[in-house]
Every structure is written in C-alpha cells, then in structure tokens.
C-alpha cells in the first residue's frame, strides 16, 4: 500500500489550520490544539515546513507561525516534498544509475509515468482547496493501459 507518513499527514493538518487564519500568527501550542495533535508533533513538522519556505516563524512572546505565501500558491506536492523529499515511487523514478539491475530492467519507464501522474495530482490540489474542503472535479484524461494476457 502506498501512503504518506503520519508526519506528512500531520503537516498537512497544521498547514490547513494556518490556511484558515492566514493573517494570524499562531504558536505551536495553538496549532497543535487546533489540529488535534500533540505539541511535540506540531513542533516536529513545523521545522521542515519552515526550512522549505512554506511557513514563517516568529520568535518572542507573541511569536509563532504563519503561511509564508498564499494558500492558493502552496500545493500538496510542496508539503509532501518538504516532509519526505522529492516525489518518487521508486528510486529509479528520479535518479538514474541507482539500481543494480537498471541495464536489464524494462519497468523504469512505466514507474516514471506513474510517478508523473501522482506528482501532477498532488500539484493540482492547493492548500486552499484542502483547508476549505474544495474537491476538484476528477480528471477526464485517461491514461492508456496495455495488459498482457498470459
């Protein structure tokens, strides 16, 4: 089964809280409470989100976090990449020469196609969409699939 990590899921929750109050600076404790997660978890996800330039941190008595840019400009792909690194279904999806059987493997191209579809889907959903429950219409584009019968 393919799934994002719990930390990435929690990071998305924290980001949606920030997206619903874009002008307000919220402390890590306030974010944790509003997202329904533990404070250490909120603190843990905020660090890579800040490093990726998705949130801004402010120090001091009234410090906290807010989105670094408009929620419409932040995609799910941005959040996943901030938490997990480059989007890749397999190692060979993004890095050539990382596999010992690459010379004889005939599946790399198809894994790259799958990777591209998933990356496109994540880029098509903004943080604004997530925070406001907007559901995009399903794509009408069909991906041709060939099945070999044994």
Residue-wise pLDDT for 18-58, tens only, equals 999 988 999 999 999 999 999 999 999 999 999 999 999 99
**Cβ atoms 7, 15 nearer than 8 A:** no
The pLDDT of residue 2 is 72
The pLDDT of residue 3 is 83
- What number is the average pLDDT over the span 120-147? 74
Residue pLDDT, tens place only, 46-94 = 999 999 999 999 998 888 999 999 999 999 999 999 999 988 887 776 6
CB neighbour burial string for 14-32, b if at least 16 within 10 angstroms, e if fewer: bbbbbbeeeeeebebebbb
- pTM beyond cutoff 0.85: no
Instruction: Please indicate whether residue 2 or residue 145 has the higher confidence score (pLDDT).
Output: 2
* Domain range annotation of the chain: 6-131
Q: What is 6-131's CATH topology?
A: Arc Repressor Mutant, subunit A (1.10.10)
């Amino acid at each position: 089964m393919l799934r994002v990590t719990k930390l990435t899921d929690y990071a998305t929750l924290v980001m949606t809280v920030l997206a619903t109050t874009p002008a307000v600076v919220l402390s890590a404790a306030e974010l944790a409470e509003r997202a329904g997660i533990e404070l250490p978890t909120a603190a843990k996800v905020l660090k890579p989100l800040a490093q990726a330039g998705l949130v801004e941190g402010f120090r001091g008595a009234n410090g906290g976090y807010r989105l670094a840019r408009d929620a419409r400009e932040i995609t799910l792909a941005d959040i996943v990449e901030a938490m997990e690194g480059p989007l890749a279904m397999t190692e060979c999806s993004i890095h050539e020469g990382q596999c010992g059987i690459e010379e004889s493997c005939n599946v790399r191209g198809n894994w790259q196609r799958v990777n591209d579809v998933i990356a496109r889907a994540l880029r098509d959903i903004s943080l604004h969409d997530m925070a406001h429950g907007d559901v995009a219409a399903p794509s009408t584009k069909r991906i041709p699939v060939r099945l070999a019968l044994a």
